[in-house]
Amino acid sequence: MTIPPMPSGSDTPPELPPGSPPGSPPGSPNATPNGSPQSESPKNELPRWAQKQHQARTLEQPSEAEMVAFIGPKWEKVYRRKLAPFFEDASFVPTWNWSAAIAFPPAWFLYRKLYLPFAFFFLLPGIAFRLLTGTDKPLTMAAMQLPENEWLLMMNVAVFVSTMLASGGTANWFLYRRARAANRLVVQQQLPAAEAQLLLRRVGGVNKLATSLFVALSMMLAIATIGG
């Protein structure tokens, strides 16, 4: 009688642990130690390193929705174009803002809640005029129109025009910097989307009441100065 050859070790299938389903060999990534397949992790959840990178990008550049919430209705028609250079490079480059230049020079900054630039442009003309002329005595318009004080009138006009140019050339950059700082503050709070949008609207937007009071007081002061 001929005895059939025994199967070689390479032909012998590996032993499966008890309870292991067919098609799930040991060591399979979808098999647990008891043989049951593992549940897949949610596909929409980003790993922590990706979440950190996304948060860093959000801190660096506000999104479209965040800029709409901060700037207000004029974002689409006005400020998207004006602030576009700073989204490519956040460093200062001169741009132009007619509203900041032709209104009472500091009034636009107060209107847009840029309080530090407002204080700077409010105090700068007077300080510059005193340094350039060497006089601390306030002069009325009638006094500056005297022949001996004509140079003071010209100096006053020069300071005013310089302030207008500086205001119009830096206004957009100051607004962008404040929008980015406000967005960074809101992102770090880790609020729900609706609350974050509400906070951005409250931090941004405009300050109509303070601007109206400032313009009214400035006009009263100008009338008093002209009248002597």
pLDDT of residue 129: 85
pLDDT of residue 226: 67
Banded pLDDT at 228 (limits 50, 70, 90):
low
| Closest to 93 measured CA to CA, from 173, 176, 162 | 173
Which of residues 173 and 62 earns the better pLDDT score?
Answer: 173
- Helices 150-189, 193-203: axis angle to 10 degrees equals 170
20-34, 129-143, 156-170, 174-188: the lowest-pLDDT one: 20-34
pLDDT tens, residue by residue, 17-50: 555 455 545 554 444 455 554 444 444 555 554 4
- Report CA 181 to chain centroid distance, whole Å: 5
Burial class (CB in 10 A: 0-12, 13-18, 19+), 201: middle
Asked if residue 174 has pLDDT above 70, the reply is yes
pLDDT of residue 91: 92
pLDDT of residue 15: 52
Main-chain phi, psi angles of 13, to 5 degrees: -65, 145
pLDDT of residue 101: 94
**Average of per-residue pLDDT across 95-124:** 93
Asked if residue 76 has pLDDT above 90, the reply is yes
pLDDT of residue 42: 46
**Average of per-residue pLDDT across 6-19:** 50
CA dihedral 19, 20, 22, 24 (to 10 degrees): 170
3-7, 59-63, 88-92: the lowest-pLDDT one: 3-7
| Residue 203 CA: distances (Å) to CA of 39, 110, 116, 121 | 44, 13, 15, 22
CA dihedral 200, 190, 177, 105 (to 10 degrees): 30
**Letter string b/e over residues 20-49, b meaning 16 or more CB atoms within 10 A of that residue's CB:** beeebeeeeeebeeebeeeeeeeeeeeeee
Beta bridge partners of 167: none
| Residue 210 CA: distances (Å) to CA of 17, 108, 112, 116, 198 | 78, 11, 10, 14, 21
Query: Do the Cβ atoms of 104 and 218 come closer than 8 Å?
Result: yes
Write down the pTM of the prediction. Answer: 0.70
